[in-house]
Structure 1
């Protein structure tokens, strides 16, 4: 049930978001985003011993550089403190251990640290804040474990796609880091809307990620589409990751990549045609 529950939870929660949700989204951490994806939360103290993405042995897991009270947020990324408390009427206990990701984050002192994914308890609480109610879904403890694995796999996959774009700027910055991000599930991107007009399904979720390219903030748009069957690595979403068209550099990058893809397709077709012609002689 993992992937279907994951997409259903996101879609149902999206319906309950306020109409002015988009105003909380930030391009450079200037305002506090609402806790859409639980990955927005501040990292906790616990780390899963069964992490599927082990941290680099010389690096630290991410810890918030400032002390929080119940009302504070991290000024670097505007993320609120983690909520590891069981929710009222929760039908079963959920683990609070967390997995360290492979995604580097911006830190106050410049040290190498990584984002931590939400625990099952944090994910549950975040979904309740988004309007989801467990009583409307047939969900079990195992499903929550699967949902966390899917969520983490999706974000790892998204970061790898971001790095492909960032490779265009490897000479100017060899260490891009994720600064902040926010969920915009109800705010479909122009490309997603255009695809829907052509008959394709709309994404079940959208995130905007702010990547620090060695001092320069670059916004990425990520559309998450339901890929159907979950694979052995808990990946099922089809991701459309690209720089937002909000700067000249981003537009130029998209033009470059579009050209490279077009050239590759033409070269591949010519190669296949030449093989077919040679084989028929």
Structure 2
């Protein structure tokens, strides 16, 4: 989930549950926080702020500075050190990478959002899983951006993000509708969360284009070890014709091996084709 927080090597992931995340093409991995026993506060887009609300960072929809102090009655000392992600932040390399919250900040955020009783001894594992799966989400975005990265030799960057748990995407509604007719192919559950990430795409000439990505989070039941598995569906939002063409070309590339096989062509025949972006 997009629970980064401030501006500032790949993090270490210490839990077996993190390693159990399932990476499939459709859909890929997602946030582990659907577990009702592990409530988590992710950034949520708000329509307005009351006089009692703290001023929020527009890039994250979270407070600019969340306290690392222990909560009243807190029994366990949680780490306050934060972990750097591998996700580039902002338009300039000098802005570094996004930084994940410390376990103490995560606990404070959950309590601040009224998540009720939070198991203190589970917070560190929740942070590890959360960070691990955010890295997986960014890998999916990098795959979508690969044709443009090959052209410009400039990696995409993450400008901002927001949680939109109450805004069910059209595709999620479609999948849910189709599950009534094809239950073996489409899951019947709606996503338990949604995020929008605004990605910066370079034109190779010093300019950036903002591309909104939609991430739907689904519960995936349990894996072979009995641990919860989660999936996410990542794609550019249908905000313009360019994004629609990008989605079409992306899925065309995924389905091409199946089509080539159905037409009796060898896999090697398909590998000689180039994308539309490469022809430009």
- Bucket of the pairwise TM-score, normalised by the shorter protein: 0.5 to 0.7
Q: Does 1:6 align with 2:33?
A: yes
Within the candidate set 72, 80, 84, 1:96 is matched to 80
Q: Tell me the distance in 1 between the aligned counterparts of 2:152 and 2:238.
A: 20
The CA deviation at 1:270 is 5.1
Q: Tell me the distance in 2 between the aligned counterparts of 1:194 and 1:226.
A: 17
Q: Does 1:250 align with 2:243?
A: yes
3-state SS in 1 of match to 2:104: helix
What's the TM-score once normalised by structure 1's chain length?
0.66
Give the superposed CA RMSD. Answer: 3.7
**For residues 219-238 of structure 1, what are the alpha-carbon distances to aligned partners after superposition, in whole Å with 9 as ceiling and x for unaligned?**
00011112233699x99321
**For residues 108-129 of structure 1, what are the alpha-carbon distances to aligned partners after superposition, in whole Å with 9 as ceiling and x for unaligned?**
x641611111111111122223
Q: Does 1:220 align with 2:213?
A: yes
**For residues 24-71 of structure 1, what are the alpha-carbon distances to aligned partners after superposition, in whole Å with 9 as ceiling and x for unaligned?**
7xxxxxxx9xxxxxxxxxxxxxxxxxxxxxxxxxxxxxxxxxxxxx96
Task: Tell me the matched-pair count.
Answer: 220
Which residue is 1:105 aligned to?
Answer: 89
Larger helix fraction of residues: 1
Which residue is 1:124 aligned to?
Answer: 107
8 Å CA contact 1:192, 1:202 repeated in 2? yes
The CA deviation at 1:168 is 2.1
Equivalent residue runs for 1:191-202 within 5 Å: 191-199=171-179, 200=187, 201-202=189-190
What's the TM-score once normalised by structure 2's chain length?
0.66
8 Å CA contact 1:10, 1:204 repeated in 2? no
Equivalent residue runs for 1:12-91 within 5 Å: 21=45, 23=47, 80-91=64-75
Equivalent residue runs for 1:138-153 within 5 Å: 139-141=119-121, 143-153=122-132
Which sections of structure 2, spanning at least 5 residues, go unmatched?
A: 1-15, 19-30, 180-186, 203-207, 268-280
3-state SS in 1 of match to 2:213: strand
**For residues 129-184 of structure 1, what are the alpha-carbon distances to aligned partners after superposition, in whole Å with 9 as ceiling and x for unaligned?**
3331016xxx341x212211111111000000000111121214622110110111
The CA deviation at 1:247 is 1.6
Which residue is 2:222 aligned to?
Answer: 229
Which residue is 1:47 aligned to?
Answer: none
Q: Tell me the distance in 1 between the aligned counterparts of 2:264 and 2:85.
A: 40
Which residue is 1:27 aligned to?
Answer: none
Which residue is 2:164 aligned to?
Answer: 184
Q: Tell me the distance in 2 between the aligned counterparts of 1:272 and 1:129.
A: 58
